[in-house]
A and B are shown apart, each in its own frame.
Chain A
C-alpha cells in the first residue's frame, strides 16, 4: 500500500472536479442516527471530502462499533 500511517495531515490532496487543493473543513458524519462533527480535508468549492485510511480503519471503525453496541 502506498499510504504510510500518520502521513494523512501532510498530504496535498486536490479536488479534481474543481481543481482546488483541499483545506480543513467541518464535516458532519452520521451513523445509526448519531452525528459527529469532524475536521476533514474538504474542497472549499464542491464540498468533496477526504477520509484517510488511518481514520476509516482506526477511530472511525471504533466509533462505528461503539454505536452498533449501543
Chain B
C-alpha cells in the first residue's frame, strides 16, 4: 500500500492530539499528565512535568492568566479545573529541594538578551540551557525588578528570587543597571555578540523594527525582538514566556544555520483536533479553597486534580470490542498494519489484528473525523493475499463453505414454474438457506403468490467471504457468475433477504436493481397466520451490513409494529449498530474475540432480540440469547417461552442447502435430482453432543469425518488404541489432516473424538 494512502488513514485518528488545555497553553504544559500525577499524590513528578514547559514555576503559578482554563473540557460539566492553583501546590510541595539544571555542552556563540521581563528571562534561560554564552542585561538594580513592580500584590519577592536563581546555575552573565533607552537598535548592532534578543520593547522602540510574528526576527540579521508585557496592558504572562521561548528557538536555529521557519505551526496556542465527549460525565464544581489559605492543601489538590476527565477521544474504541481487544486505538493499529505490510522478514505480528476486524464500519460512524479502520483492514488483506502473505488457516474454512454453496449441489437458477421470464428474482442468500430453509420456501411461495410477471429463484452465495478475506479475483469470479445468470434471466429485479448480499451487489454490481424482501412484505401485506406465536416486546438488532440502509431499518420496525410487537432500541442501533461477530470473517480469524463480541451484544438488553440476518440470529441464539429471525415473527413461530433455538451446525448448514435445492426442484419444478453423493455421504455416524460441539469449534464437518473413515476402512490404514479399544485414523482431503477416533456400531460408526492439523505428514509415512 502506498505511503500516502496509509498516511491518509493515520492522519484521521486524533487520539494522539493534545488535549485542549495543552494546546491552548502557549508553552504547552502537559496539564493532563500533571493532573494525573497530582491525583495520585505524586507532587514531585507533577512539578517536573510543569517545569519541563515552564522555566519559572513559582512565578507563573502565581500570576498565570490560564488560557488553558477557559479551554478545559471539565468546564462543560461543572467548573473548569483550577489549574494554576494546582501548579502552585506542586511548586510549594517541592520548593525545598529543587534539582539542579545542567546546560548542554558549551557552544562558542555569544548571545545578548536585553530586558529581564518574562520573555527576556525565558530566552536567556533556554539559550543558556542549550549551551550558548548568554549575557542578560536588565535596566533595574536587581534582576526581575519589573516583575516585582508589575505584580507586586500577587508575587512575593522570594518567589521571584528563588525561580531566577537557576540563571546563575546555567551560567548566565547578568548585567544590571543597563538603561535600555530609545535607540535600542544601536545597542543591538553595537553589541559584540552573534545574536541579540531585544525583549520588553515599548511601542516607540518597536516602531524601529519590522518583526516577523513567527520567528521574531527583524530586518537586522541576528537581531530578534518582542514587545513589552506589563500588567496594565493585561498582556499574558505565559504569552511572554512563549515569546521568549520562540526567540530562543529562532536564535538557536539562526546560529546553527538552519531554517527559521520550518515546522513552527504548533508553537504558541493552537486549536487541537482532539475530540473528547463529555457524555456521561457527572458535573462537578471546583474544590473550594479554604478562605484562610492561599494554596490548596495536598488533599484538596488531589481532589481537585481528580476532577480532570483526562481528555482523550477513543470514540470508536468505546463502541467496538475489536478495537478494545488489541488494547490500543486506530493510530497505533494503523502503524502496526503499515509495518506488517512493509516488513519482509520476521514475524508479522499484526496479521491477527488485520484479520480480526469485522469491517463493519461502526468506527467510521462514531469517529469525529470519519476514519474507517475496516477499509484499511480490507485493503491490507487484499495486499497480503496478492503477496502470498495471508495465513492460510485464517479464511480457509469459510472460503471452502462458499465454494460448496456455489457448487453444483447447491446452486439453482430458475424462472417461476409455468413462466418463461421473470420480473423479479428471489435471492435468499446462502445463510438463510442454511439456517432456515423452510423460511426460504415460504418466502418464495409468498412472493410468487403476490407478485406478477414471474418471480424467479436463484440459490447461491453472493461471494462475501471472498471479498472479506481479500480474495479479489475469487470474488470477482463469483460476481461475474451471478451477473451472467441474472442477465440470462432477463435482468430481473433482485429480491434480497440478506443485508450482506445487498451490500455486495449494490457496491459491486450497481447495474442490478434490488429490493429488500422486507420492503415487499410491507408493500404487499403480511401473510395471515393462524395460531401465531410472537413475543410482546423485542429489541431490534440491525445487521451491520444494513448500517447505511435507513429505509430498510424503518421497514423492519414497521413490520414489527404491525405484528403487534413493542420495539426496544438497543443502545447502539441503526447506523450505529454492532456486528454480531461474523462480519469480515472475524469468527474464523479470531474465535475468542468473536465470542466476546457476541456476548457484549447480547448483554445489552434482557429483551428477546429480533434480527433480519440469519447469521446474526444464529450467533446470538448459539450463545443462549433468545433471538428470532424476522421471518420467525412474520410466520408466527417465535415462542417467547421456549429456550433460545440454536441454529444448525456447519455440517447441517451444508446439508440444508443441498436439501433445499433438491426439495424445491422436485416440488416446484417437478425435476428429479441426481444426488451427486459419494460413497462416504451415506455412511451413518453416531456423534454425541459434546463431540458435535468439538467439531463446531474445530471446524470439522461430518463429511470430513466420513472421508477419514471411508479411507481407513478401504485401505486398512488405521490404528488401534489398546487402552480404549477405539480405532484412530487420519486423512488429508484438503489442506487439513483430520483425525478421527471411532468404532463400528450398528451398521455405522460411533465417533469419540476428532481433531485436525495443517502440518503435513510425509506421504511415505502415510
Could you say which residues of chain B place their CB within 8 Å of the CB of A48?
Answer: 717, 719, 765-766
Mark each residue of chain B from 706 to 723: 1 if its CB lies under 8 Å from any CB of chain A, else 0: 000000000111111111
Q: Which of B347, B691, B721, B766 has the most CB of A within 10 A?
A: B721
Mark each residue of chain A from 34 to 70: 1 if its CB lies under 8 Å from any CB of chain B, else 0: 0010000010001111110100110011011110111
**Chain B 675-703 residues near chain A, CB threshold 8 A:** 690-691, 694, 698
User: Counting CB contacts under 8 A, is A29 at the interface?
Assistant: yes
Could you say which residues of chain A place their CB within 8 Å of the CB of B720?
Answer: 13-14, 16
Known: A27-B765, A48-B766, A68-B351. A13 touches B759 (CB 8 A): no
Known: A12-B722, A42-B765, A48-B765. A69 touches B757 (CB 8 A): no
Known: A13-B720, A14-B722. A49 touches B758 (CB 8 A): no
**A53 to B694, alpha carbons, bound, how many Å?**
12
Picked from A2, A12, A16, A60, the residue with its CB within 8 Å of the CB of B752 is A2
Q: How many residues of A contact B (CB 8 A)?
A: 37
Picked from A1, A56, A63, A69, the residue with its CB within 8 Å of the CB of B348 is A69
**A32 to B715, alpha carbons, bound, how many Å?**
28
Q: Contact: B721 with A13, CB < 8 Å?
A: yes
Could you say which residues of chain A place their CB within 8 Å of the CB of B582?
Answer: none
Picked from B719, B757, B761, B764, the residue with its CB within 8 Å of the CB of A16 is B719
Q: Contact: B759 with A36, CB < 8 Å?
A: yes
Q: Contact: A51 with B761, CB < 8 Å?
A: yes
Q: Which of B348, B691, B741, B755 has the most CB of A within 10 A?
A: B755
Could you say which residues of chain B place their CB within 8 Å of the CB of A56?
Answer: 739, 755-757
Dominant secondary structure of chain B at its interface with chain A: mixed
Q: Contact: B760 with A31, CB < 8 Å?
A: yes
User: Counting CB contacts under 8 A, is B762 at the interface?
Assistant: yes
**Chain B 710-753 residues near chain A, CB threshold 8 A:** 715-724, 726-728, 730, 739, 741, 752-753
Distance of B369 from chain A, by nearest CB (Å): 31
Picked from A2, A29, A57, the residue with its CB within 8 Å of the CB of B762 is A29
Distance of A7 from chain B, by nearest CB (Å): 8
Could you say which residues of chain B place their CB within 8 Å of the CB of A47?
Answer: 764-766
Distance of B690 from chain A, by nearest CB (Å): 7
**A66 to B393, alpha carbons, bound, how many Å?**
12
Q: Which of B346, B726, B741, B765 has the most CB of A within 10 A?
A: B765
Q: Contact: A66 with B757, CB < 8 Å?
A: no
Picked from A11, A17, A57, A60, the residue with its CB within 8 Å of the CB of B723 is A11
Q: Contact: A27 with B761, CB < 8 Å?
A: yes
**A64 to B716, alpha carbons, bound, how many Å?**
29
Q: Contact: A60 with B753, CB < 8 Å?
A: no
Known: A27-B765, A51-B761. A17 touches B752 (CB 8 A): no
Distance of B715 from chain A, by nearest CB (Å): 8
Could you say which residues of chain B place their CB within 8 Å of the CB of A22?
Answer: 719
**A51 to B738, alpha carbons, bound, how many Å?**
11
Could you say which residues of chain B place their CB within 8 Å of the CB of A3?
Answer: 724, 741, 753
Q: How many residues of B contact A (CB 8 A)?
A: 42
Beta-carbon nearest neighbor of B725 in chain A: A2
User: Counting CB contacts under 8 A, is B569 at the interface?
Assistant: no
Known: A2-B726, A16-B720, A69-B349. A64 touches B758 (CB 8 A): yes
Q: State the total of A-B contacts with C-beta under 8 angstroms.
A: 106
**A64 to B721, alpha carbons, bound, how many Å?**
27
Could you say which residues of chain B place their CB within 8 Å of the CB of A12?
Answer: 721-723
**A66 to B392, alpha carbons, bound, how many Å?**
12
Q: Which of A36, A56, A65 has the most CB of B within 10 A?
A: A56
Distance of B708 from chain A, by nearest CB (Å): 13
Q: Contact: B351 with A17, CB < 8 Å?
A: no
**A57 to B739, alpha carbons, bound, how many Å?**
11
Distance of A42 from chain B, by nearest CB (Å): 7
**A40 to B698, alpha carbons, bound, how many Å?**
23
Picked from B391, B698, B759, the residue with its CB within 8 Å of the CB of A30 is B759
Could you say which residues of chain A place their CB within 8 Å of the CB of B730?
Answer: 51
Q: Contact: A29 with B761, CB < 8 Å?
A: yes
**A57 to B348, alpha carbons, bound, how many Å?**
22
Beta-carbon nearest neighbor of A30 in chain B: B760
Q: Contact: A66 with B765, CB < 8 Å?
A: no
Could you say which residues of chain A place their CB within 8 Å of the CB of B762?
Answer: 27-30
**A1 to B739, alpha carbons, bound, how many Å?**
13
Q: Contact: A53 with B722, CB < 8 Å?
A: no
Q: Contact: A14 with B753, CB < 8 Å?
A: no
Known: A29-B761, A49-B765, A63-B759. A69 touches B723 (CB 8 A): no
Q: Which of A2, A30, A46, A64 has the most CB of B within 10 A?
A: A2
Could you say which residues of chain A place their CB within 8 Å of the CB of B741?
Answer: 2-3
**A10 to B720, alpha carbons, bound, how many Å?**
14
**A18 to B346, alpha carbons, bound, how many Å?**
44
Q: Contact: B758 with A16, CB < 8 Å?
A: no
**A11 to B726, alpha carbons, bound, how many Å?**
12
Q: Contact: A64 with B759, CB < 8 Å?
A: yes
Mark each residue of chain B from 125 to 161: 1 if its CB lies under 8 Å from any CB of chain A, else 0: 0000000000000000000000000000000000000
Q: Contact: B721 with A51, CB < 8 Å?
A: no
Can you list 23 A-B pairs, Cβ within 8 angstroms, ordered by A?
A1-B753, A2-B741, A3-B741, A3-B753, A12-B721, A12-B723, A13-B721, A13-B722, A14-B720, A15-B719, A16-B716, A16-B718, A17-B715, A17-B718, A27-B761, A31-B758, A36-B759, A47-B766, A49-B765, A51-B761, A57-B698, A65-B393, A69-B349
- The 8 A-B residue pairs whose C-beta atoms are closest, nearest first, are A68-B391, A12-B722, A56-B757, A47-B765, A31-B759, A14-B720, A29-B759, A17-B716
In the complex, besides A12-B723, A13-B719, A68-B394, 16 extra interface pairs with C-beta distance below 8 angstroms are A2-B724, A2-B726, A13-B720, A14-B720, A16-B719, A16-B720, A17-B715, A27-B765, A30-B762, A48-B766, A53-B753, A56-B757, A57-B757, A60-B757, A60-B759, A70-B346
